[in-house]
Chains A and B, each alone.
Chain A
């Protein structure tokens, strides 16, 4: 009897251990399975962006400004310019045209080309950038401001000689 009891007891312990081991294995399997799913999910999300980036980068985007320069009479005068900035790409893009010195600009959604037109007063040379949804610069161009006569600069003091 004691031997039978011992046998049953050992069997139960074995069963418990085996069950636990199976649960462990199953848990690991589930974790791996979910991890794979999550990973795939991440990969899908990343892949989506990558596709956008790759498209934007590979889209052969060209940005062009006309005219490319503005001349004012004196240094420091605001320079009036009828500006037209055009872009085009091989693939449809969500892009925005922004500049470093003005608030002017425009956005386009799912377009392969666009033109921004404006009458502006520029105080200094301005860089225009075409950026995608991630803020990545796809192309840029510059509109320079020049002048004929240099203006006053520096500090004036009483100076007889």
Chain B
């Protein structure tokens, strides 16, 4: 049964990827980089010898992950940025699943862009998220590497990403397929984004499992299976002046059924609304 669910999840991720790529094939060029960045800021210029900017932001978010003890409202300062030298790039974006990434652009054509990259995991489920998880191992240290393909078609962007853990933390894989569209109204840049992220059993187990060593009465041993997380996002970006940008985002996640019984998970659906004021230099 679990194998069937895994196969179904993988098939869905594959179909979503192919669908996204199909939609953008044969269209005119647009932009590249991490999709969360590209849908707001436009395609990076892979042909530029040098490009760099720094982002400092004040971020407020409301909504909570379905994790025991997670806070409802969070205020934080964020640091992001982008550095491109020739075809090498370093990208940090707090709103991306891949918080930090370093890579090389293999090819940048009018419609397609191919990157190899290494990326850090997003914030994991650990004591930084909730003090009640004290005693469980740190789950935020994995580094994955792989290939990213991005397609551009006018206001549409589709991205396919296949990553494997290279840090030895979980040795699992992550396959992500995302499609997004941007709308311009006056100087407001609106967008929607739909994504599906397949995570192998090793990956979900690293994040949501409880191994024998760390098991307690409250958090008994648990093995999570492979599954697909779906994410949908609505966003708005407004330039306030040459250096300040407002970003508003509403997201909805649906976590895989395969982690629903994790002892520190209180549900598999959650949403978040956030706003940022970002200084760009």
Residues on A facing B (Cβ under 8 Å): 70-75, 77-80, 146-160
Contacts and interface: CB of A to CB of B under 8 A. Distances in A.
B42 interface: yes
B155 to A, nearest CB: 12
A28 to B, nearest CB: 74
B45 A146 contact: no
B186 A80 contact: yes
Nearest to B109: A156
B107 interface: yes
What's the interface size class on B, roughly?
Answer: 20 to 34
A142 B43 CA distance: 29
A72 B240 CA distance: 9
B41 A152 contact: no
Nearest to B245: A148
B243 interface: yes
B107 A158 contact: yes
A78 B45 CA distance: 19
B43 A77 contact: no
Contact of B187 (A75, A79, A154, A155): A79
Contacts of A74: 41-42, 189
A148 B45 contact: no
B76 interface: no
B47 interface: yes
26 contacts: A71-B241, A71-B242, A73-B42, A73-B189, A73-B237, A73-B239, A75-B42, A77-B184, A79-B187, A148-B243, A149-B41, A150-B45, A150-B51, A152-B29, A152-B42, A152-B47, A153-B45, A153-B47, A155-B47, A156-B46, A156-B108, A157-B47, A158-B107, A158-B109, A159-B107, A160-B106
Nearest to A74: B42
B24 to A, nearest CB: 16
Nearest to B185: A80
A161 to B, nearest CB: 8
A127 to B, nearest CB: 20
Interface in B74-119: 87, 106-110
Contacts of B45: 150-154
B280 interface: yes
A151 B41 CA distance: 8
A12 to B, nearest CB: 97
A158 B106 CA distance: 8
